[in-house]
Structure 1
Amino acid sequence: MSTPVVRTVGVIGTGVIGASWIALFLAKGLKVIVTDPDPDAPAKLSTFLHDAWPSFVIAGLAPEASLSNYEFNSLEGFKFRRKLLARLDQKTPPATVICSSQPGIPSELVCECNHRPGRVLIGHPTSLPHLLPIIEVTIHPETQINHAIAATGFYRSLGGMPLLVREGSIDLGGNRLRAALLGETYDLVHRGVVSVADIGIVMTGLQWAFAGPFRTNGVSTIGTCPHIW
């Protein structure tokens, strides 16, 4: 199934994550429609974009990239996320995929989306999306597969690394892994087993950081290494 070409993106909310998305979209040559109820949002967004833009210039811009290819619209009457998503579901074209960067259980987000709930998804970046490429796309029982494919394909077109997460936990996959690792590292340091510096070496050494836990374990299996190295 082919991924539709996206030329225009709408962003609601210009906080740190929203502004980061906007910077990435502009650098990839997309037109961005921006809206935020904060009267200071336009000035704050402009400052963020001008600060972030030099890094995109160094990395390489799309031919159509423009720092000014966005327009700001006012937002009135939208006070709650669920109501907002329901309004978007009602008013946007049928093929439009609606993604929320705020993590949570998708069923809770789509409970008031009675029009086309199958296109409402979570697209949660693990950090600022213009800096780190991992995006967790969480689906729910009503998700239509073509919309999930469109979302992951769109994120890949931006240079992202989308992960498909099945619903079943409040915490997203990356958050759960980080919580488990942080819990163990804090415990080891607190008990004086290892130092903070040593934990840093373990986590950034070329094991998990290079190939992930499963591939690393496979390479470490007896008799495997000689055949690979």
Structure 2
Amino acid sequence: MTRPFRTAAVLGAGTIGLSWTALFAAYGLTVRVSDPREDLAEAVADALKQYTPHLAARGLDVTGLADRVHLAADVPEAVRDADVVQENGPERVEFKKDLFATVARLAPAHALLLSSSSAIPSTAFTSDLAAGDAARVLIGHPFNPPHLVPLVEVVPGERTGEDAVRAAVDFYTSVGRTPVVEREEIPGFVGNRLQNALSREAAYLVERGVVTPEDLDKVMTNSLGLRWATVGPFLGAHLGGGPGGYRHLVEHIGRSMRQTVPGPGTPSQTEDQQERLIEAVEKAYGSSTYSELTETRDRRQLAVLAALDSADKEEN
């Protein structure tokens, strides 16, 4: 690695922050968590209890996991000895500006400063920082929950140094994630842009009455989701073109698809239509609690990861 990572500060203990906390601790880091929420101790304890079986199922040694997690009274205490800081605060530019000004002043000069921001690029909140501080700030955007979903979008800002980019890739790799460096601060980054494009079409199809929310989810999980979990859109398309590959698909099948399938639909933005869509989703899944649904999601996610691990081992 470009540098050692022994101590991590997690700022913000919502769903993402708590998941990061468990993951970092499972990889042997000392973790200091800061959040103004009054139930911080209970939230951390509950998260570690919930996530420990997940991490154990991934082959990690979770012995003494809670002993590596410490509650910090405030941000200064959390970042004081940190090698890496993972911020998970509100998606507000001014909040992040103030927070990173504090973090840059109080964290060690070598500390890597990362934000889990899902839409705001780091350039938007580092303009007032000194050049040396701005150089170590960048986005490390995970997908929920980050202790299970491997992708981390590493997005440098206009003032981020290349050494910080390399360090971020090394850090996330060291905690079992799959970092992907994105070289433009495009709004929403890559993952959310893809997700939002599909979500818009899904909402459009349900709104048109073509399919119900639960049946649309069945379409995804029994076709595209299954395929993309193993090969992704481009490799899937390359294979879909047969021996001629992606070129054959674009020149022949792609042409016929463009002629028969119109572009993506745009769901209505009226309040009435949105309310009907919300009610349809609630009707489909409202009989189960949030905890029940997330437990099912995480169990299935673990099963997919285990199956992929097994397949990779067989190939090697």
1:1-229 counterparts in 2 under 5 A?
Answer: 2-62=1-61, 66-75=65-74, 80-103=95-118, 104-114=120-130, 115-194=132-211, 196=213, 199-204=216-221, 205=223, 206-224=226-244
Q: Which has the higher helix share?
A: 2
Name stretches of at least 5 consecutive residues in structure 2 with no aligned partner. Answer: 77-93, 246-316
1:174-216 deviation digits (Å, cap 9, x = unpaired):
1111111111122233334455565435433243332111111
Q: Secondary structure at the match of 2:41?
A: helix
* Structure 1 position 82, deviation (Å): 1.2
Conserved? CA contact 1:106–1:167, under 8 Å: no
| TM-score for both structures, normalised by structure 1 | 0.86
Does the 8 Å CA contact 1:53/1:67 hold for their aligned counterparts? no
The letter for the 1-side match of 2:145 is L
Q: Is the 8 A contact 1:124 1:137 kept in 2?
A: yes
Q: Structure 2 CA distance, aligned partners of 1:75 and 1:139?
A: 27
Give SS of 2:171's match. helix
Moved more, 91-100 or 52-61: 52-61
How many Å separate the matches in 1 of 2:100 and 2:193?
Answer: 26
Instruction: Pick closer, same or farther for the CA change 1:196–1:4 going to 2, 3 Å.
Output: same
- Which consecutive residues of structure 1, in runs of 5 or more, have no partner in the other structure? none
| Structure number with bigger Rg | 2
RMSD across aligned positions (CA): 2.4
Secondary structure, in 3 states, of the residue corresponding to 1:87?
A: helix
Is this contact kept in 2: 1:9–1:32, CA < 8 A? yes
Structure 2 length as normaliser, TM-score?
Answer: 0.64
